[in-house]
Structure 1
Amino acid sequence: MTFESVAPSGHSALRHDALFYRGDEDYVTAIRSFVETGLAVGEPVLIAVPGTRLDLLRSALGTSTELRFVDMARDGRNPAWIIPGVLYAFFNEHPGRGRVRMVGEPIWPGRSATAYPRCVQHEALINIALSDRPASILCAYDTAALDLDAIADAASTHPFLIRGGDRQASAGYGRPEHVVDAFNLPFPEPPSSASTLYFEAPGLAGMRALVAALAREAGLPPDRVDDVRVAVNEIATNAVVHSDQPAVLRVWRDAEGLVCEVAGSSVLTDRLAGRIPPSPASDRGRGLLLVNYLCDLVQVHTDEKSTTVRLHMHR
């Protein structure tokens, strides 16, 4: 997509760069330099990359006690969980340590097309959610395997780009809010086989029972049945408590498990909802955070009159 470009600031506490690499040698060389620069000045370093990339970097970087390795394909499978569950969690592990370094790879060859819009939104939201955090974040993009649109989107979400050891301001960097809104895309229609239920607040118990029954029929294990029931209940409760109109639940199976969609007439306006852990003293802000933790993918679409949320639970 094309966005209105803004001049990236070099004075933010946050440094958020995209690394455009080609091949393993380029990948390891650039990330090793980034990591060793941080370790040399006592900065804790998080490495959050998927699968075999994690093994490659473990071998190249060694086992310093200041290094933390996370499998992005597991802990970041839901892009909406990366900021609270991976990045904020790392900050919380090192209180009072000053600056930290993070290597991330939230978009990789094989990342599903369904998750992709939420991945781009995640990258844009880092620039808002962590703008005042003393962190250097390097996000890797495989230019040999990703398509040109993915590379262009990376340029729109990172103020600075690194290619071949050269760091330059991104001419395509867009306002984070505009990027997030541009990927607030309507969903494809549910399949005709989807189970459908219209409900209001008194019908929440029946709605939960239906979700649990369909989850068991789809082959989800008991703990995942409980997870999907809790997650759908959080979304469904918000849909009817904040509106005087009925909401609609649709549930269907896909190749990976179960998809549950809740559509209601309330409008979610906070772009960071479910991404920022609330303070321990707060009694609000935990519902969508819990949903992002429990689900393998959470998609949200809002318009002027409604909000639709799709929850994906894998077997």
Structure 2
Amino acid sequence: MPAPVVLVVAPEEDVHARTVAYEARDLDVEILSVDLARFPHEAALSVAYDGSEILLRLGGRALPASALAGAWIRRPSAPRVDPAVQQEDAVHFARASTRATFLGGLGGACANVVNPVGSSQRANLKPLQLAHAHAAGLRVPATLVSNDPDAIRAFARAHPQACYKTVSTWRYDLKETRRLDAETVADTRGLSICPTIFQAYVDGGVDLRVTVVDGAIFAAAQHVGEGRSPVDGRLDRVRITPATLDEGTQAGIRRYMAAMGLRYGAFDFRVDRDGAPWFLECNPEGQYLWIEIETGLPISRAIALALAGRDPREAG
């Protein structure tokens, strides 16, 4: 009998996807990597409903729903359209149609999807993250999301050590978190271009990267106080060590995951001088491999177990 199939939906060069595939080698599943960039120009895509079960056809591979053990939606590529299609609206339409067909078909055919179809898009909304984190009982710094210069200046007066960051990701570059200085506050035109996140600065020398796979929680401490950029630890290579979370924070994380409908999430916390963690954000498709390499935390194994329909806490 053929092994059940786990679909890993990721760019062809994605090292996270390759690592999870390696960790699944002894779990009696077949890993099938799917790059959405192949569709619809290079390969055909079909979803068929014949009254008995859903059938996905990805190029030459037919996958009935009963053959699917799980699927990991890991930062899918943009679908690639026939270059002969030049009109921008037509390209956008073809890409959106392809993505909707694939994700909709996959969500209907497979119950074991990480993250469930549609949940990551919702969970990427940072203002919504802050509301759910607060409701889940996690500590959230005083925050303003705005492009109103007057409101921003009032916030800066109330929080002299404030910092700021983008609401959405920047396509071409990393936009780091920065301190809110007098020059930025005085730039009325720059402040008004689009909403930005302004937060009270949490003074501390440790950031926590907490990666969650279903019931398994993996915490790592990034010792940003030892680097040159205490505001944004992504800019430095600093010491990273395994960490332990208090029960209250773990419970809040689980409430947050349930409220957002997530099975995977990469949380960022800042630990203050009293040792209390403050929620900054949660990336539903966040990177984790550098944490695994530095600490030995078995995150890839946990993801592989979840995709095979097993408890990721077996990873240790």
Q: Give the TM-score, by structure 2 length.
A: 0.29
Q: Give the TM-score, by structure 1 length.
A: 0.29
